A and B are shown apart, each in its own frame.
Chain A
Amino acid sequence: MKILSIVETAYRATLEEQDDTILWLNHSLKNNGADVSLLLRGNAVNYAVRGQNAGGLAFGDRKLAHAPEPDRDLQKLMEAKVPVYIIEEDLRERGLAQAGLIGGMEKVSRKAVPALLERFDQVWHW
């Protein structure tokens, strides 16, 4: 069964979790044998920006040990053979240039999304 996970909501409790829960879930599913691909759209396209640094969070004396690194987590997903697609108009609308993005993703236009969806048995929109 081929699954496309569409990730749209971004930075949902990423500091509390030290990662993005949906990237994490998809990586866990892949590790358990799922044939899963990822499509980043909306604000989640910002996950592809290289060198994000959310470090330094502290409440009183308690410091966050590991800041979330969604760009690195995406790279690890791709290393685990999870294809990652990204909506190019969503990048452009946010002024995110190619030079600042991680490599390895496949850009798709909004017009191409219906054809992309046809390639999967199930589509999960997060």
Chain B
Amino acid sequence: MAKTLTIAIMDPPYETANTTTALRIVNAALTQGNNVTVFAYEGAVNLTMKGQQPHANPVKGTSVEQEQHPTTKDWIASLFELARKNSVKLEWINCGLCVDERGAGDWIEGPRRGSPKDFYEAAQKSDGILVIPAK
């Protein structure tokens, strides 16, 4: 039977290893047929920004095409697709106040705006909670 995991994250993209770790856990949970709720707090609301663009790497001398630089919004879009394929639910809640103070409201399809109350309610309903704070 599917279980539900709630994860709170707060690191912005391209700053720490925490985001990759969190997304790996989300990937594993979805792959194994579980539902996941992510509460993106503070800088983590930037993970799903639609305007992210891959870039070339002038130090390595690679073009945009050769570099295939990843973007967190593409990784997360892929996780939404994985959830759809596995008939499980990925709920991604971006903290609305954090979004407003950053002007970070233009997201890919999938996330929704929420508040700490949503995190609290998700935590109450979940089988497991994982908090990955910024340091």
Measured CB to CB, the residues of A under 8 A from B are 11-19, 21, 24, 27-28, 31, 57-62, 64-66
Contacts and interface: CB of A to CB of B under 8 A. Distances in A.
Given A27-B59, A59-B23, A65-B70, A11 B79 contact: no
Contact of A13 (B20, B74, B78): B20
B72 A66 contact: no
A65 to B, nearest CB: 3
A62 B78 contact: yes
A19 B19 CA distance: 15
Contact of B19 (A16, A21, A64, A65): A16
| Residue with the greatest number of chain B CB neighbours at <10 A, chosen from A15, A31, A57, A62 | A62
Contacts, number: 67
Interface size class of B (residues with CB under 8 A): 20 to 34
Contacts of A28: 58-59
Contacts of A15: 17, 20
B67 interface: yes
A3 B15 CA distance: 24
B109 interface: no
B79 A18 contact: no
